[in-house]
Amino acid sequence: MASLKRRQFGQLAAASLTSTVVAGLSTQAVAQKADTKEKILYAVNLLSASNTQNRENQTPGVELNTADLVTGRILSKVNRLSLAVENPLAVTKNPRAFFLNDYSRITKAIVLKNGTLVISTVSSTKNGYFNHLLFTIGSATIPVFGGRKVLGFKRANQTVESLLSLPNNQLLCLVGTEGVPPFSFRTLDFTTGRVFARDELALPSLPPTHRFSNLCQDLKGNIFATEIGSEGFPCLISMNLQEKALITGNIKIKRLTPLTFEGRPLSYDLQDLTFSSDGQLYALAADSNRKNTAVYTVDVKSGKMGLLRNFAAEKFAFL
């Protein structure tokens, strides 16, 4: 009887997703996932939007895959259609007279310590920009989804461009202006989606003409990201929330090294950057033909990138 109830519950949960699930994971695949957890990836892609979608109070639809990094094999696939947010409160709007088409994009995917996957998205409309957090609950292969709208921005053109998990259900965000500089650091409450009005971390100011993206954190708590200045080449930067400048009292940013591939500086930004559980830094970026995306290893000290394999994703994160 207990077995029957578990099957019925699984069927009901899958149906409630309004999703397409590619099932049939073999026992061998499940065992492989347990043995090589650090090599199993979430791959996140955007789904086509419906013309009737409410881009303010509904999250964009996403395709969520789990894949084996070593073989590239897809282990599971879920399509999560547009989802109503649980906090549909009013945000600042700014109607634009000259506007072509609504669109949405994924800006980051992270996994919290409790296993929750959080996906940040930005939707552009004639009334301004709307930022959302889409998150999973439960199994990586058949998750239940929830959605929240980001609240508290004073301007309608502020966009969440990257995320990082902090203690106490807080998220560190890189915030852009319509997706471009100037950028700034902000923190928000994951449980409410609201941006904190005060900066209690002494976050550093960022050069107003530089592009920043791809937040991630290593096993020692060091935070990494990419920065692109006037020369147009992405450079690794790092900071630690415990290391502050003596004069300003703000957290110090260290500029490490430009990213290179096959002996040449990278001439375009990464799509994503993340650490695996064994401490290896991986990048998601265009392949050599600039037609597809691929996963690369990244040497933190030298900035050298090594091609691992083609990998179809807009954002990625390790389980």
Domain that holds residue 303: 2-318
- Positive/negative CA dihedral, 28, 31, 35, 39: positive
Task: Identify which of 88, 155, 142, 143 has the alpha carbon closest to the alpha carbon of residue 118.
Answer: 143
Task: Identify which of 131, 146, 152 has the alpha carbon closest to the alpha carbon of residue 194.
Answer: 152
Residue 111, Cβ neighbours under 10 Å: how many?
17
pLDDT of residue 97: 77
Enumerate residues 6+ apart whose C-beta is below 8 A from 61.
46, 47, 48, 49, 79, 80, 81, 82
Distance (Å) of CA 182 to CA 83, 127, 164, 230: 30, 21, 19, 13
Task: Identify which of 239, 238, 302 has the alpha carbon closest to the alpha carbon of residue 266.
Answer: 302
Provide the pairing of β-strand 103-111 with 58-59. Answer: unpaired
pLDDT of residue 38: 53
pLDDT-flagged residues of the chain (< 50): 1-37
- Which strand (E) or helix (H) includes residue 305? strand 304-310
pLDDT of residue 96: 82
Q: Please report, for the domain that includes residue 134, its CATH number.
A: 2.115.10
Residue 215, Cβ neighbours under 10 Å: how many?
24
pTM: 0.88
Distance (Å) of CA 31 to CA 3, 34, 64, 317: 21, 5, 21, 20
pLDDT of residue 8: 40
Q: For the chain, what is the domain count?
A: 1
